[in-house]
Chains A and B, each alone.
Chain A
């Protein structure tokens, strides 16, 4: 081995503390990078494979009732490849030992052969026997929530008749990766489940023999989705079609797409920050390390080593450090990535997981790390070789210090010499001090982000459920019903207050934009449901006109005063039929419709600040008038007396017209529970990585400062300074820089959170930028602990300073 390579290895051994600290920071950056991106890629791959293997449909439509023969006509629509008709129905469930109201969706499985679409993955047990009318398979989330096993029974109220059902299997479906009850924002697996049963008995129960009320379809290659949807709507309208939609409006897919979108943001923003900070540190630290080699560089130059050879020599040093960090980072990243993917697999209930680490991810991490390491090295080497060797071998001329600003303005008498040394040192190398501050501040910012989500979500829930939506229960009726139904609800023991509402699925159009949502007709002076402005003050619903969620107005590009066009998507007899307005680009239909049915237009009066979902609100009377119907509701908000809650539940279950009940508190608790494990894992990872960064910055700064100033400090020891006093000079500077970094870190953390919040904005929810004091104190604690630990490690080294060496050698 060449002598210089030997030097390299021995230098690495000698510097192992610093090498490990640098490698650790890089490891943090690389492992986050690998973890996040591989998790994201794995989930996307798994989802795609799941969708493909289990034939997730591309178009969905539900309707009131159509004969099976209509399926043939659907196939005639250009662009449609395959069709499968189904029977889907809402049911109330009665679960042994569970008093709360529970509801679900019954979906038919074909009598013969496999489903064409949305195939079931049987986790346990078997699929239903088509000849049996009492067998069901249930979704895994629902099964787990109640610890159902194949063989267990539950009863369901199917079309008003109570029926005992035997669970024969536990399944997963690509159609219900997210199982969310219509009208609810969070999944609640205890109170809402998906059940599948044979088609014939299900159809019989709902008078749908020889007919269907739901259809799933796939598109031929190159088909235009919008055209297909228009034609489907046209064809299904006479049969009470509720508006066909593509995957992007399918509830489960939509939630998943939103989550994946967020994951993608997390998977790019975070690792890039981490890797960026790690690269920055690598650059700074390696640069300073090379600076301490200034004399050796001069010797090598004196003996005729060329600049390129010296540059390559130190590049190898940097590359070895990078290699250690990179190897560790990739290994830890894969480990964490697999763990994280498993958490998500469980969360989304994917039947399998395809873990994927794209080579490009590793290559990118390596490129960034290598580039940062080499840049730091070469920059410092270039500076070192620029000096004539004669100068390089001399000790650096005493740097020019001067009285600091604090002293110049006459405050020096307040400071002892060591404190002046600290201040002068910082002022002499402001850039270096700034880099250290930025490094520590980034660590602080990263830790803050880890904590902020929880605060924000709590705030969100508090506003949504504490101030706006204050009911204890919300019930939905099977069909629009006369408002007289409210009387029977009011009559229930334990019900203290009832307010009816009327919801109707619509597609809203403004200019060239459109959005599928619901118009919500609520009581203008209601106590249970209140529409709030951005200051959480109640907005009075106008007698005419609509109030929209701010985010919906943004999607549609509307401002108060604009008129929105409403396309009602509810199956309807002419009485309820309102307007059909075509989506853009389908002029032939638009023309026809415009001629036959006047478009329904309403002014936007105000916007409401909402964090969850998007809706448009108006007075229920106004909506009834708009739909040309009488005093009609299709659900109610209920306040209950907690002492009689279970009685209310029991009575509600007995009401055949009630199709689903949402218990607010339970939904929130369930949501918190599911979020907790995700957030906990995330918080832990970011806190650890933030700590690693902080430790890396402080420890490396201190170690290198020690090697740069060791002689100076040892001289002071010779002069009679104690270890504590010289530690004050060295570590006091770092303590000062750490304290200076905290406010900057808070700002950085806030900016990062703001960025994430803007990236996370979706029609499902918008996270408010709420950072409570605990996020600040947690970040402060992580930074200070890291700083203290590295300070302690350096202090131990200060005790071992060789005093004799200072006296013997030159300077």
Chain B
């Protein structure tokens, strides 16, 4: 048993199934997924487009609900939680990073972070979070005045400022070139290491898997492989 496993289970998913009803057709995004996530672990979810990895992450983050199965966050049942319970869960426990950053265009970097810290307890100062992602100098810029990599780092600062216990990242480098992507991954690696935040990262880029504690491969809504990296590769050494 590794150190992370000893620290305890953060997420426990059993028989997770998700069916999207698209009118005439039904899309099976998840077909009975069993997965545990351990505290402090950096997990990479790998899979092709449509493999169900985003759906899995969204359900873990309380952004979506499962059609069948269970998810436990610590000892909290997410699958039966009400809308307001899920809101409370996202507000205090989860940090999200999306592929397209999803910043609020009318707010500056600092204000984007503040929009989240204002509603949680025990948050970092927005400036501190931005400093952690290396954007201490650009706090008063609007999203439109920032490059893609910078925008994604603001998004990460926004996600970590509340000191979440889990950080869920959906293709955080998907819209970035590899150099910029590496910078973003380094930030995520540092947050995982320094704050001990359990991190789940979705990618279809197999090269990124090298920085993970564990790599979970999904295909067609099922977990097809789980692999533990004996030796993690630092993010700055990644190339693709």
Contacts and interface: CB of A to CB of B under 8 A. Distances in A.
Q: Do A and B bind each other?
A: yes
Interface of A: 2-4, 6-7, 10-11, 14, 295-296, 299-307, 309, 388-391, 393, 397, 400, 809-810
Contacts of B106: 6-7, 10-11, 14
Contact of B87 (A3, A6, A306): A306
Interface string B92-118: 101010111010101100011011101
A390 B102 contact: no
**Closest 8 pairs between A and B when the two form their complex, measured CB to CB:** A304-B91, A10-B106, A390-B58, A390-B63, A3-B115, A3-B114, A304-B90, A390-B64
B173 to A, nearest CB: 14
Nearest to A389: B63
A744 to B, nearest CB: 33
Interface of B: 22-23, 54-55, 58, 61, 63-65, 83-84, 87-92, 94, 96, 98-100, 102, 104, 106-107, 111-112, 114-116, 118-120, 158, 175
A722 to B, nearest CB: 27
A303 B98 contact: no
B63 A7 contact: no
A305 B87 contact: yes
Contacts of A300: 115
Given A3-B112, A393-B102, A10 B107 contact: yes
Given A6-B111, A388-B64, A296 B104 contact: yes
Contacts, number: 85
Contact of A303 (B58, B64, B116): B116
Given A303-B90, A305-B91, A2 B118 contact: yes
B96 A302 contact: yes
26 contacts: A3-B107, A3-B114, A4-B115, A4-B118, A6-B107, A7-B104, A295-B102, A296-B104, A301-B90, A302-B61, A303-B91, A303-B96, A303-B115, A303-B119, A304-B119, A307-B83, A388-B65, A389-B64, A389-B90, A390-B54, A390-B58, A390-B61, A390-B64, A393-B102, A809-B100, A810-B175
A300 B104 CA distance: 9
A304 B118 contact: no
A304 B104 CA distance: 15
Contact of B158 (A295, A303, A305): A303
Nearest to B155: A299
A398 to B, nearest CB: 11
A6 B126 CA distance: 16
A304 B115 contact: no
B92 A304 contact: yes
Contacts of B23: 400
Contact of B90 (A10, A302, A391, A809): A302
A647 B146 CA distance: 94
Prevailing SS type, chain A contact patch: helix
Contacts of B94: 304
B84 A306 contact: yes
Interface centre among B63, B65, B106, B107 (most CB of A within 10 A): B106
A6 B109 CA distance: 13
Contacts of B100: 809-810
B102 A299 contact: yes
A316 to B, nearest CB: 14
Given A390-B55, A400-B23, A810-B100, 20 more contacts: A2-B114, A4-B115, A6-B106, A7-B104, A7-B107, A7-B111, A10-B106, A10-B107, A300-B115, A302-B96, A302-B102, A303-B115, A304-B89, A304-B92, A304-B120, A306-B91, A307-B87, A388-B65, A389-B90, A390-B58
Contacts of A809: 100
A6 B91 CA distance: 20
Contacts of B104: 7, 296, 299
A397 B158 CA distance: 28
Contacts of B118: 2-4
Given A7-B115, A303-B91, A393 B98 contact: yes
Nearest to B55: A390
B87 A304 contact: yes
Nearest to B94: A304
Contact of A305 (B107, B119, B175): B119
A53 to B, nearest CB: 59
Contacts of B112: 3
A620 to B, nearest CB: 83
Nearest to A400: B23
Contact of A302 (B22, B63, B175): B63
B150 to A, nearest CB: 15
